[in-house]
């Protein structure tokens, strides 16, 4: 969405709230709207970031620094479900923290609470759960994780990056959900991506805390820099005010009614797709998808063959691994008449095709993921990924892009 406010504020910089007071106010209001949405009280607070990854990294930093400075923990470590987003691993690497992955219940794909409890030790500085998790769209048992947090006095982060603008509206949309936010005692922070189901342009997300003490440990402050007393809330220095205003505009424009209506159609469509897929021979649905993602696997063939063939029909499905699976994330586009029906029909036809005529050699992502998961030396797979990233930055020599 291109709002007029984006145009006016595209060259502004929230780093200088005195120069751009309007942008400051909009950012504060985005945060407050999200605090309220997640049932935070007057002491709840937060900041805007550039995306879910940064929101998660900021929560990790807050809890790391709280652990070191307040609790005297020397080597803080975090416990996250195996299904948690890779942003936690990125955060652990950047922040020099240890990350330990808690196994899932193989039936429900929810984090195994007993295993999480056993992995808690005196270095544990944060627990995390996802609402819902990215791979299979399953809600982690937030109430139970928060219970562990209370019992062992450890802060609990709820990653609602994906579901942050769906789950708060599900009760009103007619799909009640167990509480997952600050209504649950023990939940201390929530990340939510305005640039996903908040329908703001890419480059915005929020991290919300139940109390200011966590946020203080997130801030970066250096009082002695010759460039001035330097203080920033997040990783970046200069940022775009355009993103802030576009995000503010999206929240105000859609409003609660808009989000409830979108949520209702998205959940209805997801349930339709789930039910349809459960009847199709050759595939099964992982766990109980409660929000907008349905993940499929197969006991009869290489599931990536299905996503490759779906790709040829114009469907872009995410490939997941451990265990092999593919998923669809249902968006507003999929709620249009006939789209879900076509999806189910295509899965049905192509699954039949593979069952009736099993291909001997897998090609495409079927080959790639099949092979990648079977290579025990993970560093080899890592090097393949470097090549992929290098290729993203390739240019045609013949075109010689230049600023001259
Ligand atoms: C998308 C996502 C993230 C990371 O968000 P980015 O905006 O891509 O950085 C984190 N957690 C979950 C569950 C997500 O779906």
Six-digit token string for 315? 């469907």
Q: Report the pLDDT value the prediction gives residue 378, as an integer from 0 to 100.
A: 87
Q: Is 49 in the pocket of ligand 1 (CB under 6 A)?
A: no
Q: Is 3 in the pocket of ligand 1 (CB under 6 A)?
A: no
How far is CA 285 from each of CA 310, 315, 332, 348, 393, rounded to the nearest angstrom?
A: 17, 18, 22, 14, 37
Q: Is 51 in the pocket of ligand 1 (CB under 6 A)?
A: yes
Confidence of residue 402 (pLDDT cuts 50, 70, 90): confident
Q: Is 85 in the pocket of ligand 1 (CB under 6 A)?
A: yes
Q: Is 80 in the pocket of ligand 1 (CB under 6 A)?
A: no
- What is the distance in A from the centroid of ligand 1 to the CA of 54? 9
**Cβ atoms of residues 186 and 146 within 8 Å:** yes
CB atoms within 10 A of CB 10: 13
Q: Which residue carries 């996802």 as its tokens?
A: 130
Q: Is 88 in the pocket of ligand 1 (CB under 6 A)?
A: no
Q: Is 129 in the pocket of ligand 1 (CB under 6 A)?
A: no
Ligand 1 atom closest to the Cα of residue 195 is 7
Q: Report the pLDDT value the prediction gives residue 128, as an integer from 0 to 100.
A: 98
- What is the distance in A from the centroid of ligand 1 to the CA of 73? 28
Q: Is 162 in the pocket of ligand 1 (CB under 6 A)?
A: yes
Q: How confident is the model over 207-243, as pLDDT tens digits?
A: 999 999 999 999 999 999 999 999 999 999 999 999 9
Q: How confident is the model over 76-121, as pLDDT tens digits?
A: 999 999 999 999 999 999 999 999 999 999 999 999 999 999 999 9
- What is the distance in A from the centroid of ligand 1 to the CA of 122? 29
Q: Report the pLDDT value the prediction gives residue 1, as an integer from 0 to 100.
A: 46
Ligand 1 atom closest to the Cα of residue 53 is 9
Domain range list for the chain = 6-253
Q: How confident is the model over 338-350, as pLDDT tens digits?
A: 999 999 999 999 9
Q: Report the pLDDT value the prediction gives residue 403, as an integer from 0 to 100.
A: 83
Q: How confident is the model over 131-141, as pLDDT tens digits?
A: 999 999 999 99
Q: Is 242 in the pocket of ligand 1 (CB under 6 A)?
A: no
Q: pTM to 2 decimals?
A: 0.95
Ligand 1 atom closest to the Cα of residue 160 is 13
- What is the distance in A from the centroid of ligand 1 to the CA of 356? 38
CA 381-382-386 angle, 5° bins: 115
- What is the distance in A from the centroid of ligand 1 to the CA of 200? 14
- What is the distance in A from the centroid of ligand 1 to the CA of 140? 15
Q: Is 159 in the pocket of ligand 1 (CB under 6 A)?
A: yes
Q: Does residue 404 have a pLDDT over 90?
A: no
- What is the distance in A from the centroid of ligand 1 to the CA of 401? 32
195-198: list long-range contacts, CB under 8 Å, 24+ apart: 195/51, 195/247, 196/52, 196/161, 196/162, 196/164, 196/165, 197/162, 197/163, 197/164, 197/165, 197/166, 197/259, 197/262, 197/263, 197/266, 197/292, 197/331, 198/164, 198/165, 198/247, 198/250, 198/251
**Which of 193, 201, 236, 331 has most ligand 1 atoms within 8 Å of its beta carbon, as the pocket-test mutant?**
193
- What is the distance in A from the centroid of ligand 1 to the CA of 373? 23
Q: How confident is the model over 183-199, as pLDDT tens digits?
A: 999 999 999 999 999 99
- What is the distance in A from the centroid of ligand 1 to the CA of 150? 26
CA 382-384-387 angle, 5° bins: 115
Ligand 1 atom closest to the Cα of residue 51 is 7
**Which of 84, 134, 166, 290 has most ligand 1 atoms within 8 Å of its beta carbon, as the pocket-test mutant?**
134
Helix axes 303-312, 364-374, angle to 10 degrees: 150
Confidence of residue 379 (pLDDT cuts 50, 70, 90): confident
Q: Report the pLDDT value the prediction gives residue 215, as an integer from 0 to 100.
A: 98
Domain at 6-253: CATH architecture: 3-Layer(aba) Sandwich (3.40)
């Amino acid at each position: 969405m291109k709002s007029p406010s984006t145009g006016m504020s595209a060259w502004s910089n929230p780093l200088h709230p005195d120069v751009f007071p309007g942008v400051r106010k909009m950012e504060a209001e985005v945060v407050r709207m999200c605090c309220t949405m997640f049932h935070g009280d007057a002491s709840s607070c937060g900041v805007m970031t550039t995306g879910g990854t940064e929101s998660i990294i900021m929560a990790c930093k807050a809890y790391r620094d709280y652990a070191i400075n307040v609790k005297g923990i020397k080597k803080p470590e975090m416990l996250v479900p195996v299904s948690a987003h890779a942003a936690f691993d990125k955060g652990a690497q950047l922040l020099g923290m240890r990350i330990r992955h808690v196994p899932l219940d193989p039936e429900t794909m929810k984090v195994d609470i007993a295993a999480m409890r056993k992995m808690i030790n005196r270095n544990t500085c944060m627990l995390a759960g996802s609402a819902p998790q990215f791979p299979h769209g399953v809600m982690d048992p937030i109430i139970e994780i928060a219970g562990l947090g209370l019992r062992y006095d450890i802060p609990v982060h709820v990653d609602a990056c994906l579901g942050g603008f769906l789950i708060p509206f599900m009760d009103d949309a007619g799909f009640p959900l167990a509480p997952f936010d600050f209504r649950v005692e023990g939940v201390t922070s929530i990340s939510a991506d305005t640039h996903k189901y908040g329908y703001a342009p890419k480059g915005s997300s929020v991290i919300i805390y139940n109390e200011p003490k966590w946020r203080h440990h997130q801030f970066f402050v250096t009082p002695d820099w010759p460039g001035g007393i330097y203080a920033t809330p997040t990783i970046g220095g200069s940022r775009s005010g355009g993103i802030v205003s576009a995000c503010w505009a999206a929240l105000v424009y859609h409003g609660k009614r808009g989000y409830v209506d979108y949520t209702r159609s998205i959940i209805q469509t997801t349930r339709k797709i789930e039910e349809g897929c459960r009847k199709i021979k050759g595939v099964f649905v992982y766990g109980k998808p409660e929000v907008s993602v349905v993940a499929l696997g197969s006991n009869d063939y290489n599931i990536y063959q299905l996503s490759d063939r779906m790709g040829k029909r114009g469907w872009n499905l995410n490939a997941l691994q451990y265990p092999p699976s593919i998923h669809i994330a249902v968006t507003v586009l999929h709620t249009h008449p006939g789209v879900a029906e076509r999806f189910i029909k295509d899965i049905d036809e192509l699954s039949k095709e593979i069952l009736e005529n099993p291909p001997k050699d897998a090609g495409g992502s079927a080959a790639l993921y099949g092979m990648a998961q079977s290579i025990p030396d993970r560093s080899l797979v890592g090097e393949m990924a470097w090549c992929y990233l290098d290729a993203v930055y390739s240019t045609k020599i013949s075109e010689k892009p230049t600023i001259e």
